[in-house]
Chains A and B, each alone.
Chain A
Amino acid sequence: MIPGMALSVWFVVKIFFLIAIGVYIVFAFVVVRQVGLMTDTLEVGFETPVRIVAWGHLLFAIGILILAILIL
């Protein structure tokens, strides 16, 4: 196989990975909004941990995107 062609194959795979993580970030953002909607609907005294997990999940997903850009 030609080295340049192999490189471009992995470049395409990288783009697919980045798109997948990008879609996941959108999903994680929707989860944050969903948690906001849910905690506005019902307050039982457990809203802060739920919000922290939702935001942590979003930040973690963004971290993975940055990691993927750096190492792939």
Chain B
Amino acid sequence: MPDIFINSEEAPVKKVEKEIKKHPKEVHRLEGHSHSPLSSFCYFPDGVQFVAKDSQEKIVLLLRRHPITNVPWIVVAILMLFAPSVLSFFPLISFLPANFQLVAVIMWYLITVAYIFESFLDWFFSVYIITDERVFDVDFVNLVYREISEANIDQIQDVTVTMGSVIRTLFDFGDVFIQTASEVPRLEFEAVPDPDRVAKILRELRVEEEKEKIEGRVR
């Protein structure tokens, strides 16, 4: 039976990938490409290595929660930093000798530093990675527990974007829920910047995977 419709156009992500292969410096001009390691949205990031990545696999998107989601713990940290000065007006530990008071205050600042560092690590290392073949959700649940969920692009069944509050609309971030046919039925990208673009990139990659399947290509 003759083909009724053949779409010869490549998916935009694939086009960009080929362009980068030809002219590696072009990657720096891409919208959403960032050199900051603290960026929460990086399109075709440079120099990112990931433990579960294959050597041939190309990272298309690296995502973190939007920086604005850090505000609550930053506010708590500021309150913790100023707490000893404020509490000096209230004689809470004045019954202790001066040397004990000094060590108690230093310990308080030590706990504050630990809280800040842990909160930062939680934000910095909890990432969502989209490669040209797979989608990863990396979670550091507590001090020593790491969870990496992954699904193949061709196993994605449905992508849902939700943006539900004034803050989220104002700063353009939201959740992307990825329904999959893999062992992990659902991947959740929480509070990621520009969720519509994330969904669009996923859609393009899915289309490309479908075409690869039809054409019998691996990549």
Contacts and interface: CB of A to CB of B under 8 A. Distances in A.
A13 B62 CA distance: 49
A57 B114 contact: yes
Interface string B88-132: 000000001101101110110011011001100100110100000
| Size bin of chain A's contact surface | 20 to 34
B38 interface: yes
Interface in A22-36: 24, 27-28, 30-31, 33-35
Contact of B107 (A28, A53, A64, A71): A64
Interface string A50-62: 1001100100110
Interface of A is mostly: helix
Contacts, number: 88
B77 interface: no
Interface in A42-72: 42-46, 50, 53-54, 57, 60-61, 64, 67-68, 71-72
B48 A37 contact: no
Interface string B116-158: 0110010011010000000000101001101010000000000
Interface of A: 10, 13-14, 17, 20-21, 24, 27-28, 30-31, 33-35, 37-38, 40-46, 50, 53-54, 57, 60-61, 64, 67-68, 71-72
